[in-house]
């Protein structure tokens, strides 16, 4: 294998690849769902599949508001905080088991790393849970750390779909949005990546992704390589959220 090109067909240089975690790199999104369904039952209800779909990729606050509305309960702020902790603890137990990669994700991340393209993990999941998954991801990359930066949901001023998490990761890497490709599976995540000014490769998992300028859709990451990331970057409209 030769040394991959570092500039795309349009001449825009690929400066970094920023990845969502749950549902994009690894099959952990369903653990959140399992914990949410369990909480609904604890509260005497049964969360609908439609409500579950609405919670994908959102913050705990948004997700629990959807759950409460769906099963028709009202909770105080104190009860919300206890519920959030309950869902996190249940999810942590599930994450401590085996981690499954999304199809093609490990191969793509490996190619990006071996080409020395900077990477960041940008997740809404809080640090204590993300570190469980990062430990498992790291064991698959014994030679080179998989990420140059990791940004978690409890380390940012606002969560996806706000662009703040992606902008924070770009600042940490010292790269411009115009040279970044974001990998995402959710509406909240792809909205955040586009709002940050990056090109987004969307691989829907638990919810459909509507078309948007700068968003390229694929069924999975199988067969997606650096050349394709360059093409995604080249197809991005010439805008920058920070311009």
CB of 23 to Mg ion, least distance (A): 4
CA nearest 28: which of 106, 108, 100?
100
Q: Which is nearer to Mg ion, 20 or 83 (CB)?
A: 20
Task: Tell me how far apart the alpha carbons of residues 229 and 209 are, in angstroms, rounded to a whole number.
Answer: 18
CB of 29 to Mg ion, least distance (A): 6
Q: Which is nearer to Mg ion, 15 or 191 (CB)?
A: 191
CB 31 within 8 A of CB 94: yes
Q: Which is nearer to Mg ion, 54 or 178 (CB)?
A: 54
CB of 56 to Mg ion, least distance (A): 7
Q: Which is nearer to Mg ion, 70 or 185 (CB)?
A: 185
CB of 224 to Mg ion, least distance (A): 16
Q: Which is nearer to Mg ion, 43 or 184 (CB)?
A: 184
3-class DSSP state of 180: strand
Torsions phi, psi for 69 (to 5 deg): -65, -40
CB of 36 to Mg ion, least distance (A): 14
Residues near Mg ion (CB under 5 A)? 20, 22-23, 57, 185-186
Task: Tell me how far apart the alpha carbons of residues 177 and 81 are, in angstroms, rounded to a whole number.
Answer: 35
- Number of residues assigned to the chain: 243
Task: Tell me how far apart the alpha carbons of residues 17 and 116 are, in angstroms, rounded to a whole number.
Answer: 11
């Amino acid at each position: 294998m030769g040394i991959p090109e570092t500039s795309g067909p349009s001449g825009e240089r690929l400066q970094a690849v920023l990845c969502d975690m749950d549902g994009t790199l690894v099959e952990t999104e369903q653990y959140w769902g399992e914990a949410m369904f369990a909480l609904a039952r604890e509260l005497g209800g049964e969360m609908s599949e439609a409500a579950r779909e609405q919670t994908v990729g959102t913050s705990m606050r948004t997700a629990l508001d959807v759950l409460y509305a769906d099963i028709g309960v009202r909770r105080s702020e104190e009860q919300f905080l206890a519920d959030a902790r309950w869902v996190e603890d249940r999810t942590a137990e599930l994450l401590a088991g085996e981690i499954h990669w999304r199809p093609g994700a490990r191969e793509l991340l490996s190619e990006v790393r071996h080409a020395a393209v900077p990477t960041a993990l940008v997740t809404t999941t809080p640090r204590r849970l993300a570190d469980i998954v990062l430990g498992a991801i790291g064991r698959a990359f014994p030679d080179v750390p998989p990420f140059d930066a990791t940004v978690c949901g409890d380390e940012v001023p606002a969560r996806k779909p706000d662009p703040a998490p992606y902008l924070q990761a770009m600042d940490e890497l010292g790269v411009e949005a115009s040279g970044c490709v974001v990998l995402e599976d959710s509406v909240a995540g792809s909205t955040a990546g586009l709002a940050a000014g990056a090109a987004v490769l969307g691989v829907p998992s638990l919810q459909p992704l509507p078309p948007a300028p700068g968003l390229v859709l694929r069924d999975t990451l199988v067969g997606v390589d650096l050349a394709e990331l360059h093409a995604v970057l080249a197809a991005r409209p010439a805008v920058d959220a920070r311009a």
